[in-house]
Amino acid sequence: MVYTIFLILSLALLCVLLRFVYIMPRARKPISAERRSTPKTFSLAVFLGSGGHTSEALTLLSALDFTRYSPRSYVYSQGDILSAKKAVGLELLKTAESSTHPVHGADSNPPYSLVCIPRARRVHQPLITTPVTAAHSLAFSLYYFALAPAFTGKPFADVLILNGPGTCCMLCLAVYFNKFFGLPAPRMIYVESFARVKRLSLSGKLLRPFVDRFIVQWPDLLNDGGRGECRGWLV
């Protein structure tokens, strides 16, 4: 009896592990022919981690062709109204720019949305209560990535841009939940902050193996031979 249970558990664990190996990012993924032949738009989500994180994330977005990446979701932490305002500011700026040379095929859907999730950990919050707030944050992330799309039939995003801090790890976890169960999951791109010259941030270290692209802005950060790429300053 004990032996049978042990065998079943081991098999289950093996299946889970194999599934994880299967869903981890790979060096080269197959290019879908359909995607190449028909130019389409991709929905984009970006996490605004407040302060310098928000400024850098919005600077990255400012250079994108918004007709390609539409609609856009700006995920901000609860209470961080400033980040939400800055996101609206960028949208207004881009609209003003594009109205001088109008964009074809404007549809009726709103081009962007603001999504609020609770913080995984507040500044100076004691470590012992962090699992509770982190779980709260994860629950919201799962709602947006897994549950809501099940009703609307629309995936949350095709690509997700992350640049820290802690709460963005919850978004990554939610994406892995989707991957694990074969639900539509966005590509994840992590961009380490311009301020990180010699040492990666904690969220950078944590997310490095899990994201599809890991981008740094100072080459010394890749001296350890780990994965990642550097094409100079991005902000």
Partner 1 sequence: MYAFVTVGSTRFDQLVQKALSDAVIDVLRAKGYSKIVVQCGNSEFDTKHFECKGETWVRRDDEDIQVWRFKPSLQKEYEQADLVISHAGSGTIIDVLRLRKPLIVIPNETLLDNHQEELASALAQLRYLKRSNVSELPKAIKSLQSSDLVPFPVFNGSRFREMLDEEMEYA
Please say which residue, 149 or 158, places its beta carbon nearer to partner 1: 158
Q: By rule CB under 8 A, what count of residues binds partner 1?
A: 39
Q: Does 213 bind partner 1 (CB under 8 A)?
A: yes
Q: Is the dihedral of CA 52, 159, 68, 33 positive or negative?
A: positive
Least distance to partner 1 from the beta carbon of 214, Å?
11
Position among 183, 187, 206, 222 found at the interface with partner 1 (CB under 8 A): 187
Position among 21, 126, 225, 233 found at the interface with partner 1 (CB under 8 A): 233
Q: Does 52 bind partner 1 (CB under 8 A)?
A: yes
Site of interaction with partner 1 (CB under 8 A): 31-32, 35-36, 39, 42, 51-52, 55, 59-60, 62-65, 68-69, 158-159, 187, 189, 191, 193-199, 201, 212-213, 215, 218, 231-235
